Amino acid sequence: MPEVMQMIDSEVFMAFTTYATIVTLKMMFMSPLTAYFRLTRKAFSNPEDCRSGKTAEEKKKMLRSDPDVERVRRCHLNDLENIIPFIVIGLLYSLTGPDLHTAVLHFRIFVGARFFHTLAYVVPLPQPSRGLSWIVGVVTTLSMAYRILTAVLFL
Amino acid sequence: MPEVMQMIDSEVFMAFTTYATIVTLKMMFMSPLTAYFRLTRKAFSNPEDCRSGKTAEEKKKMLRSDPDVERVRRCHLNDLENIIPFIVIGLLYSLTGPDLHTAVLHFRIFVGARFFHTLAYVVPLPQPSRGLSWIVGVVTTLSMAYRILTAVLFL
Amino acid sequence: MPEVMQMIDSEVFMAFTTYATIVTLKMMFMSPLTAYFRLTRKAFSNPEDCRSGKTAEEKKKMLRSDPDVERVRRCHLNDLENIIPFIVIGLLYSLTGPDLHTAVLHFRIFVGARFFHTLAYVVPLPQPSRGLSWIVGVVTTLSMAYRILTAVLFL
């Protein structure tokens, strides 16, 4: 990792900053989407959230799990499991001074794959569309990790 | 993102480091809190954890979900869903050279909102206290993301 | 946090990069492991994933939770809850200019503890092996957080 100082003020780091912010905003969007499905499906986890129920009976019925809510929650958890490793590895990768075009290609493919993954999960699209978009994201992250370990390895 | 090198050694970055560490410690605290509720409620997920049970019957009874344990676990997951985006976006935001007072204000509001969110979730306080503290955190993070994208955008 | 610029190009940061990448790859490995258990145990969460079922009846039976799948998923979530704080705090800690040997010792102990934790969780090994490896990871992270707050504190 030579000359990190020059790198951090580079176009690669600016590109990483842009794509990392966009994909993090996409991940954050899953929270209001969950809230939307909870409100429309009337399916909550906390008794204090069932305020739209008029009677105690009605409130209690709202404490249930709903397939659509659970689907969005699984999609959100999958985002945490995949987008966070991308951000960690992408940040460190950006500091190893990679070629700008190679780096931007990695970021674009990953972010595109994760947007498609969310679409495939929430709609849902028939498999293997979700599975493939997940694999594309994983392979992109692994490719950056390979570059890090060959450029930096210090055990 | 000009002059990142000067920025990273700046008071903004020191403030980010302080608040990010504090809010991460708060998030980590949810694990022992979950353990506390599991032990006092005698509600475990793994058979090997039910060591306090004397008979096989008693051990098996402990493999159950408990409302208090599930509440703390939801709070912990909500932390992961909100605090991690804050750290990612806050780190990148700190590198864009924001005004010190504006930056510290963002960090303080976010960290304060998340401490209150945990309190509102675990006690629990009546809604909309939890909902509002969640929204305050989200808006703070979005405000930093807006600054990043207007200062850096490189697609 | 004086002289961050010199620090970021240092051996400490290279060591952090290496260990953070390795432990992130370990965390990512939990996804294919979950997929493996889902396929062999025929236990899925999404109707569109039950393609190996021949009849509608058979597909529906596959929509179930399985103890082995749930165990791997809990292990994955525990990784998110512990490895992400390590990466956040480890990154900031690396920028405070710690002693190289102390830093590498922290990274090695944490990464070793988490590999053992996964083994202890998935096999599973009898308690307290999993509990102890979890505590070792937490204490390592707390030790780095303590160093950050004493070196940088800016509220």
Report the pLDDT value the prediction gives residue C126, as an integer from 0 to 100: 87
Query: What DSSP character marks residue A47?
Result: G
Q: How far apart are CA C89 and CA A38, in angstroms?
A: 34
Give tens-digit pLDDT for C124-150.
988 899 999 999 999 999 999 999 999
Q: How far apart are CA B50 and CA C79, in angstroms?
A: 22
Is there a contact between A118 and A26 (Cβ–Cβ < 8 Å)?
yes
Percent of chain B, pLDDT > 70?
Answer: 94
Is there a contact between B26 and B122 (Cβ–Cβ < 8 Å)?
no
| One-letter identity of residue A118 | T
Chain C residues close to A142, C-beta within 8 Å? 25, 28
Beta-carbon count within 10 A of A139 CB: 12
Beta-carbon count within 10 A of A29 CB: 13
- Does residue A46 belong to the interface with chain B, where contact is any CB pair within 8 Å? yes
Report the pLDDT value the prediction gives residue A53, as an integer from 0 to 100: 78
Chain B residues close to A5, C-beta within 8 Å? 5
Is there a contact between C114 and C82 (Cβ–Cβ < 8 Å)?
yes
Q: How far apart are CA C36 and CA C17, in angstroms?
A: 29
Report the pLDDT value the prediction gives residue B3, as an integer from 0 to 100: 38
Cβ within 8 Å, pair C71-B46? yes
User: Does pLDDT of C2 surpass 50?
Assistant: no
Report the pLDDT value the prediction gives residue B19, as an integer from 0 to 100: 96
DSSP per-residue codes, C116-137:
HHHHHHHTTPPTTHHHHHHHHH
Q: Measured between CB atoms, which of B3, B8, B152 is closest to A18?
A: B152
Q: What is the ipTM of this complex?
A: 0.90
Reference A82, options A15, A152, A137; nearest CA is A137
- Does residue B80 belong to the interface with chain C, where contact is any CB pair within 8 Å? yes
Report the pLDDT value the prediction gives residue A9, as an integer from 0 to 100: 59
Exposure string (b/e) for B82-120, b if CB count within 10 Å is 16 or more? bbbbbbbbbbbbbbbbbeeeebbebbeebbbbbebbbeb
Residue B153 DSSP SS3: coil
Give tens-digit pLDDT for C95-112.
888 999 999 999 999 999
Q: How far apart are CA A113 and CA B126, in angstroms?
A: 40
Give tens-digit pLDDT for B2-51.
334 444 558 899 999 999 999 999 999 999 999 999 999 988 888 888 87
- Does residue A12 belong to the interface with chain C, where contact is any CB pair within 8 Å? no
Percent of chain C, pLDDT > 70?
Answer: 94
For chain A, give the number of residues.
Answer: 155
Comparing B9 with B78, which gets the higher pLDDT? B78
Give tens-digit pLDDT for A1-10.
333 444 455 8
Please report how the helices A100-122 and A11-41 are oriented relative to each other, as an axis angle in degrees rounded to 10: 10
Chain A residues close to C27, C-beta within 8 Å? 81, 85
Query: What's this model's pTM, rounded to 2 decimal places?
Result: 0.91
- Does residue B65 belong to the interface with chain C, where contact is any CB pair within 8 Å? no
Which residues, including other chains, have CB under 8 Å from residue A42's CB and lie 6 or more apart? A52, A62
pLDDT band at C9, cuts 50/70/90? low
Report the pLDDT value the prediction gives residue B8, as an integer from 0 to 100: 54
Alpha helices per DSSP H over chain C: 4-8, 11-41, 56-61, 67-94, 100-122, 129-152
Q: Which residues of chain A have pLDDT under 50?
A: 1-7
Q: Closest-CA residue in chain A for B154? A: A15
Q: Cα distance from B64 to chain A (closest Cα, Å)?
A: 17
